[in-house]
A and B are shown apart, each in its own frame.
Chain A
Amino acid sequence: MALTMVNKYRVPGYLITVALVLGAGLRGQAPAEAQAQARRIEELEKRVAELERRLGEVLGKKPEPVKVAAPETKVETAAPAQAETRLPVSGYMDFHFNKPRGEPGQVDFHRFVLLFGHSFSDRIKFWSELELEHALVEGREEKGELELEQAYLDFLIRPYFNVRGGMLLAPVGLINERHEPPSFYGVERPFVDTVILPSTWFDGGAGVFGDFGKGFRYKAYLMGTLDATGFDASEGVRGGRQKGFETSFRNPALTGRLEYHGVPRLALGTSLWRGSTGFNVPGVNPRVKIFEIDGRYRRGRFDVRGEFAQVHISKARELNVAMQREGLHPNVAERLRGFYLEPAVRVLPRRFPHELALFARYENFDTQNRMPRGYVPLKQFDRTAWVLGATYYPEPDVALKFDYTFMRNASAVVKAVSGVNVGIGWWF
Chain B
Amino acid sequence: MVVLMKVARMMVAAALLGLMPGADVKVVHITAERFSFTPSQVKVKAGTVVEFRIESEDTNHGFRIPAAGIDGVVPKRGKGELRVRFHAEKPGRYEFECSKACGAGHTIMRGVVIVE
Contacts and interface: CB of A to CB of B under 8 A. Distances in A.
Contacts of A5: 70, 72, 82-85
A24 interface: yes
Interface in A283-337: 298
Contact of B36 (A72, A209, A219, A267): A267
B46 to A, nearest CB: 12
A178 B102 CA distance: 10
Interface residues of B, number: 67
A13 B103 contact: no
A3 B84 contact: yes
Contacts of B94: 1
A177 B105 contact: yes
Contacts of B29: 264
Contact of A75 (B69, B75, B76, B104): B69
Given A16-B19, A180-B104, A6 B34 contact: no
Interface string B48-85: 01000000111100000011111011111111111111
B86 A3 contact: yes
Interface string A168-197: 010000000111101100000000000000
A78 B90 contact: yes
B38 A215 contact: yes
B95 A81 contact: no
Given A178-B34, A211-B41, A298-B57, A34 B3 contact: yes
A20 interface: yes
A211 B111 contact: yes
Interface string A255-281: 000010111110100000000000000
A213 interface: yes
A81 B69 CA distance: 7
Nearest to A25: B7
Interface residues of A, number: 80
Contacts of A67: 75, 79-80, 82
Contacts of A70: 83
Q: Is the interface of B mostly helix, strand, loop or mixed?
A: mixed
Interface string A145-178: 0000110001010010000000001000000011
A213 B40 contact: yes
B59 A427 contact: yes
A72 B38 contact: no
Interface stretch (A47-55, A122-130, A371-379): A122-130
Contacts of A4: 12-13, 16-17, 85
B77 to A, nearest CB: 5
A209 B74 CA distance: 25
Contact of B38 (A7, A19, A35, A263): A263
Interface in A58-110: 64-65, 67-68, 70, 72-75, 77-81, 87-88, 90, 92
| In the complex, the 8 A-B pairs of residues with the closest C-beta atoms, listed nearest first | A23-B7, A2-B87, A213-B41, A1-B68, A90-B101, A264-B31, A75-B69, A396-B76
15 contacts: A1-B67, A11-B13, A20-B7, A20-B14, A23-B6, A65-B75, A68-B75, A74-B12, A179-B104, A211-B110, A219-B108, A262-B39, A265-B31, A355-B78, A396-B78
